[in-house]
Amino acid sequence: MALVNFCKKCKQEVPAGEACPFCQGKLTKTNERVAFMMERVPARDWFAWNQVLRVALPALLFAALAITLLEGYLSGGEAVQTLFLRGFFWEIMGILGRMLLLMWGIFLVQGKEHVHFVLDKEGVHAYTRLQKPAVWRLYARFISQKAVEKLQEQQPSGPVDGMLIRRVDIHWADIKKVRFWKENRHLLFFNPGWWQVMAVACPPAAYKDAEAFVRKKLGKSRKARIIPKKAAIL
């Protein structure tokens, strides 16, 4: 079960219930949360690729379209035809291929990481950590040692396993759309409705709790669109 509670006195997540099993203090419903850890390898994770490609591909397409329109405006339709006959299309494909190869290399250098997902009363949080990261693994993620040291001040309460290198938070009020991907056990959060800001990968034992928790938090929201509207049957 991924549903837990947070004991303010012990400063840690404990099994859901009426009292903390460690200090016997009373637990409140408002501090209930869904929390779990997932190992992630960016080179094999579609959402890592998607995060880059949804920016890079439109930029490449825009550049190709701008060059084509500019050539047509300055020199006419025959110039555009000549442009493509000289291999402009394959040049664009070559740039795309080199870009994908570069991304693959960067993701390989990044290595595996551990993401601690937390769904609580405030929203959805993703804490990405590395175990004793080498400097070159940080550079492959385009972050510096100094930035990582500063980020440690934002560590959540409770036991810490590894160095925090990235933190992403989204409040319930800011979520405009959530999509439940039952087949792959993913929760996709959007803000605005056309832009994905977080993909939460759930282990098999946690998906049902995570979906139920999100539906409970967003079920009465008029701003958030829930897809599908009915809960998954597992």
C-alpha 146/C-alpha 148 separation (Å) is 5
- The torsion angles phi and psi of 184, rounded to 5 degrees, stand at -105, 5
Contact 104, 33 (CB under 8 A): no
Please state, in angstroms and rounded to a whole number, the distance separating the CA atoms of residues 164 and 200.
17
Tokens 């290399």 correspond to 105
pLDDT tens-digit readout, 39-68: 999 999 999 999 999 999 999 999 999 999
**Same structural domain, 106 and 214:** no
Domain boundary among 71, 89, 110: 110
Instruction: Give the model's pLDDT for residue 229.
Output: 85
Residue ranges making up the domain that contains 64: 46-110
Higher per-residue confidence, 20 vs 106: 106
Q: Say what the pLDDT of residue 188 is.
A: 97
Per-residue confidence (pLDDT) for residue 79, from 0 to 100: 81
Rounded to whole angstroms, the Cα distance separating 201 from 184 reads 8
Q: Total structural domains in the chain?
A: 2
3-state secondary structure of 231: coil
Task: State the DSSP string of 145-169.
Answer: HHHHHHHGGGPPSS---SEEEEEEE
**Which residues, other chains included, contact 90 with Cβ-Cβ below 8 Å and sequence gap of 6+?**
none
Residue-wise pLDDT for 153-203, tens only, equals 777 765 567 889 999 999 999 999 999 999 999 999 999 999 999 999 999
Residues 198, 212: one domain?
Answer: yes
pTM for the complete prediction?
0.87
Residue 234 lies in a domain: no
Q: Are residues 97 and 116 in the same domain?
A: no
Q: Does some domain include residue 232?
A: no
pLDDT at 10 exceeding the cut of 70: yes
Q: Let me know if residue 64 belongs to a domain.
A: yes
Question: What is the per-residue pLDDT across 108-145, written as a single tens digit (0 to 9) for each?
Answer: 999 999 999 999 999 999 999 998 888 899 999 999 88
Instruction: Enter the tokens of residue 4.
Output: 């837990």
User: Tell me, what's the pLDDT at 233?
Assistant: 56
Question: What interhelical angle do 77-85 and 88-110 show, nearest 10?
Answer: 50
User: Euclidean distance between the first and final Cα of the chain, in Å?
Assistant: 14
